Every structure is written in structure tokens, then in C-alpha cells.
Amino acid sequence: MASRPRKRRKALGGLAPIAFISLGLYTLWVIYPVFASATLSLTDARTNRQTMSFVGLENYTRMFSDPRLGRTFAFTLIVTILVTLVSNVGGVLFAMMLNNQAKNYKVMRTLAFIPQVLSGVVVAFMWRMMFNQNGLINSSALKYGWLDAPINWLGTREMATFCVCVTVAWASTAFCTVVYMAGLQSVPPELMDAARVDGAGPIKRFFNVTWPMLAPATTTCVVLGLIGALKLYDILAVLTSGGPANSTNSLAYYVIAVAFGNGHTGYGAALGILLLVLTAAVSAIATRILRKRETNL
């Protein structure tokens, strides 16, 4: 019996170096960059000069008088809400359609996940080619008489915002589909059989049985979808380059543009801290709300 505590202490002792290394890596790659960015945000640092001065909260108060930041925040909010909503609704619908054990459905499930495997740059390049004046969408619409003239999809603020939402939702729907399909596997068949016996139709079975059982999958998809949309950068950089007239700037894109494009690294760092706090707050609130739904099952 005395050997058990000794073995346990030995096992814990073996884990100590791993824990120390993990803590060191977390500090190096997460805590230190955040601390360095927070420190830089309190200065007037710029890339075109070697010296910098401490300015306190001046960069943060500057945000209230930055008109471009307001437009950027509005665009980010619109894209985040629309993409999260569309990708989750689409993910549930595709998961329901592909929830079949037949061999051909397995192939279709694999194909449905391909958009998630592709990088954001590849996805944006594909859709930019389709949204082009002579791209697949305009060419097909003109060929079948659906349009009289080609549409400049990326030429106006409204159309560019629509195109961004379509592109991001197409990519994120694939992830939601896989997560919801995994959630459907956890729905007890007995509950569905009992609902059928009680005379519940497909719609009632979905809202009274399937949808409540998908609560954990919903939490995962919504929270990760919100985080992904808030830090959206790569797709915008390729698809619209923030245009037209800076109308499709996300917060992440604006941070990069200010810090590296304009060279205002101090103000860019402050914007980065704002994005960090906003993302953490939104994900924490969404997680708390959705977790309550899970506990009520």
C-alpha cells in the first residue's frame, strides 16, 4: 500500500517539467505579446521614427473621434451577425440532409467539409474570380437571361458587404455542418421514436427533440463563429482589400492597416487591445448564455 503514494508522487514529479515548459511557452506566445502590445498602446510609437514617448490613454481616447473606426465597427458587427446566423442555419440544414449512413452520403459529407480545409486566401481568391465582371456568376446570369448587364459585385459598399458575407458564410458553414452532424449522432433514437408514437410530425420532432439536443453543438458553432468573424482579415485582404473606399474594413483589417500601412504602431496596438477585449467579452457572454440552454436540457 505504501508503494501507491510513492508511485503517485513519482508520476506527479514527472509531470512537473511538462507543466513548467507549457507555462513557459504560454507566457512566451500569449502573455508576453499581449503585455507588449498593451505597453506599446500607451506610447506614440511610429515606424518612421526610432524614438517614442509615453502618452498614457491618449490612443484610447482618440478612438472616440475616429470616424473610420465607427464605420469599421459597424461593418464588423454586420458581418459577424449575418455570418454567424447564416452559417449556423445552413450547418443545421446540411447536417440534417447528410445525416445518412449510405455510402454516397459519406462521400457528400467529405465534400461538404472541403471549404473548411481550404485557407482563407484560397477561398477569397476563388470567390473573387466568380464575382469578377466576367466571372462565373455574371457570365451564367447573362447566358440564361437573368441579367441584362453584368453586376459590379465588389464596386459598391452594399454589394461588397454582401459578397464578403457570402464568402465567409460559405467557408464557415462547412465547419458548422460537421459539428452539427456529430451532434445529431448523440440524439437518442428512443426519443425520436417516442415523438413519432405521440404523433409529432417532422417539424415538431425537430424543435422539440433534435434542436434541444443540439445545444452543445450550437454553443461550439456560435462561439467559434463569433470569434472567427470578429478577427476576419485574410479573406478581406484578398477579396476586397478593404474597399471600395475603405467600406469593408473589419477591426482586424483596420488594426493591420493603421499599424503597418500608416505606420502608427502605438494607435494600432491600442486598436488591437480593443479587438482583444471585444472578442473576449463577446465570446464570454455568448458562452454564458448558451451554456444556460445546455443546463436546461
Please tell me the predicted confidence (pLDDT) of residue 293: 78
> Chain centroid to CA 172: how far?
7
Domains and CATH numbers, the chain: 67-295 (1.10.3720.10)
> Tens digits of per-residue pLDDT, 41-51?
999 999 888 88
Please tell me the predicted confidence (pLDDT) of residue 83: 95
Mean pLDDT of the region 250-266: 92
Measuring CA to CA, which residue among 79, 48, 45 is closest to residue 225? Answer: 79
> Tens digits of per-residue pLDDT, 18-62?
777 877 887 888 888 889 999 999 999 998 888 889 998 999 999
Instruction: From residue 34, give the alpha-carbon distance in Å to each of 132, 192, 279.
Output: 39, 49, 14
Which residues neighbour 47 within 8 Å (Cβ) at sequence distance 6 or greater?
A: 260, 263, 265
pLDDT band at residue 12 using 50, 70 and 90 as cut-offs: very low
SS3 for 152? coil
Distance between CA atoms of residues 205 and 191, nearest Å: 9
- How does the average pLDDT of the chain come out, rounded? 87
Length of the chain: 297
Phi-psi category of 235—alpha, beta or left, where left has phi over 0 and alpha has psi -120 to 50?
alpha
Please tell me the predicted confidence (pLDDT) of residue 7: 53
SS3 for 54? strand
pTM of the model: 0.87
